[in-house]
Structure 1
Amino acid sequence: MATSENEKKMKILCLHGFRTSGSFLQRQISKWDPSIFSQFDLDFPDGVFPARGKSEIEGIFPPPYFEWFQFDKDFTEYTNLEECISYLCEYITTRGPFDGFLGFSQGATLSALLLGYQAQGKVLKDHPPFKLFVSVSGSKFRDPSICDVAYKDTIKVKSVHFIGAKDWLKEPSEDLATAFDSPLIIRHPQGHTVPRLVFHVATQMRQPRSSYVLGPQKSSVTITKF
């Protein structure tokens, strides 16, 4: 029997962090309860460009490593960003349609940009609107010429934002969440990483207009509303 529309898995494009890889992001979220993934068809592409410097995961996870674009120390000037956007739009068009994005760090920042650009009619005009965005340690771009377009209006995509108490991108992650309509914010006590996630947490993630705190309990993660 064919799968009904209601049972069809959501197809999610998963964009990795700076100087890592699609395979590494796949490993990062492998700490989540496997039952979570039954709802999704996940695609993990590698970044457009080979890493142009040392990767923080050297010795932890094997190469090759990739980056989506390059940037200056203030994250206000970007190199190869337009090439990256063109590549991803082509990837989405030929491999999609996709229902949403999951991104870590640079991948989350880039995903949010594409969502904002699509909402403003700048990219992916013929692609169906995205339905879901999961951001782990994401942030906004800082170039005003980008911000004035991508974040001009509230992005009306269901979004989940993982924000770590010790993450060096904690405040930028908070700021990114404000760009979305009724974001679900999940706070955890760790740093710049993907926290553990168990199934009952994912179930509660579906609740709108909520903020949660994740805390360790034995080897798992618990969730309490506050």
Structure 2
Amino acid sequence: MGSEAGIVRKPRVLCLHGFRTSGEILKKQIGKWPQQVLDNLDLVFPNGAHPAQGKSDVEGIFDPPYYEWFQFNKEFTEYTNFDKCLAYIEDYMIKHGPFDGLLGFSQGAILSAGLAGMQAKGVALTKVPKIKFLIIVGGAMFKAPSVAENAYSSPIRCPTLHFLGETDFLKPYGLELLEKCVDPFVIHHPKGHTIPRLDEKGLETMLSFIERIQKTLLDEEEK
């Protein structure tokens, strides 16, 4: 890679959508970001592991079909089909990868941050390359003890970018997740639980994050 006269390849990113939406919807949501961000990342948008098992909050805003990654109880402490979800993501990464990092929104963000820790512990994504960075939009931590134990037993060491919305109901939990990260970048925005547009400051942070991950990738490839 270094022999290509320092040409930086685009980081390849697996993008995990929110609960009861779809890869196509996430693609539209992220499409609002400036071209200089989108042109610097190779973004891939799979659909969740399961068709939606109930009403979607985006009905009437985005067209179906809708998907979910796994199901959970009201307290978010017990999950159904979680192992199937992990196997589905790993399988997708084997077939369509390799991927350098993960981007997630909402349920996809919770999953992305958890996957990095579970992979580091050797309990998930054991057949694919190491996750080198995370972009977390409207994220939180897993509450189910059995999952949380594996996901956060040690700090998240790869560079992470966190979007924190002023009026997002998940913001307190997003801040908890931030505490677990060793190398975090943060974009604050005035909105709620959504994928925001990038203002000037947000764009600046995003571009320095992309620069940071390109450096990580170059360093790894030169080893």
Same fold, TM exceeding 0.5?
Answer: yes
* Alignment-derived partner of residue 75 in structure 2: 74
* Alignment-derived partner of residue 214 in structure 2: none
Question: How many pairs are equivalent?
Answer: 207
User: What RMSD over aligned residues (CA atoms) do the two structures have, in Å?
Assistant: 1.9
SS at match of 1:102: strand
Q: More deviation in 12-21 or 189-198?
A: 189-198
1:114-169 Cα shifts (integer Å, max 9, x gaps): 11111111223343222211001111111122112110100111001101111111
* Alignment-derived partner of residue 164 in structure 1: 165
What are the residue-to-residue correspondences of 1:69-148 with 2, within 5 Å? 69-148=70-149
Sort the Cα spacing of 1:6 and 1:153 in 2 relative to 1 into closer, same or farther, 3 A. farther
* Alignment-derived partner of residue 25 in structure 1: 26
- Structure with higher RCO (Cα < 8 A, 6+ apart): 2
Question: Residues 134 and 160 of structure 1 are in contact (CA less than 8 Å); yes or no, is this contact kept in structure 2?
Answer: yes
**Identity of paired residues, percent?**
47
Gaps of 5+ in 2: 210-223
Question: Residues 21 and 56 of structure 2 are in contact (CA less than 8 Å); yes or no, is this contact kept in structure 1?
Answer: yes
1:80-120 Cα shifts (integer Å, max 9, x gaps): 01100011011112211101011000001111111111111
> Residue type of the partner of 1:128?
P
* Alignment-derived partner of residue 177 in structure 1: 178
* Alignment-derived partner of residue 212 in structure 2: none
Q: More deviation in 20-29 or 117-126?
A: 117-126
Instruction: Give the whole-Å Cα distance in 2 for the aligned partners of 1:147 and 1:36.
Output: 32
Q: More deviation in 48-57 or 124-133?
A: 124-133
What are the residue-to-residue correspondences of 1:55-66 with 2, within 5 Å? 55-66=56-67
SS at match of 2:188: strand
* Alignment-derived partner of residue 221 in structure 2: none
- Shift of the alpha carbon at 1:175? 1.0
Instruction: Give the whole-Å Cα distance in 2 for the aligned partners of 1:207 and 1:9.
Output: 14
> Residue type of the partner of 1:164?
G
Question: Residues 118 and 124 of structure 2 are in contact (CA less than 8 Å); yes or no, is this contact kept in structure 1?
Answer: yes
Sort the Cα spacing of 1:197 and 1:4 in 2 relative to 1 into closer, same or farther, 3 A. farther
Instruction: Give the whole-Å Cα distance in 1 for the aligned partners of 2:208 and 2:202.
Output: 10
Instruction: Give the whole-Å Cα distance in 1 for the aligned partners of 2:167 and 2:91.
Output: 36
Instruction: Give the whole-Å Cα distance in 1 for the aligned partners of 2:169 and 2:8.
Output: 39
> Residue type of the partner of 1:107?
G
- Residues 1:45 and 2:46 aligned together: yes
Instruction: Give the whole-Å Cα distance in 2 for the aligned partners of 1:111 and 1:54.
Output: 24
> Residue type of the partner of 1:153?
S
Question: Residues 141 and 147 of structure 1 are in contact (CA less than 8 Å); yes or no, is this contact kept in structure 2?
Answer: yes
TM-score by length of 1: 0.86
Question: Residues 13 and 42 of structure 1 are in contact (CA less than 8 Å); yes or no, is this contact kept in structure 2?
Answer: yes
* Alignment-derived partner of residue 9 in structure 2: 8
SS at match of 1:163: strand
Question: Residues 187 and 202 of structure 2 are in contact (CA less than 8 Å); yes or no, is this contact kept in structure 1?
Answer: no
1:163-208 Cα shifts (integer Å, max 9, x gaps): 1111111111111111211311211111010111157633433558
Q: Which has the higher helix share?
A: 2
Gaps of 5+ in 1: 209-226
> Residue type of the partner of 2:147?
I
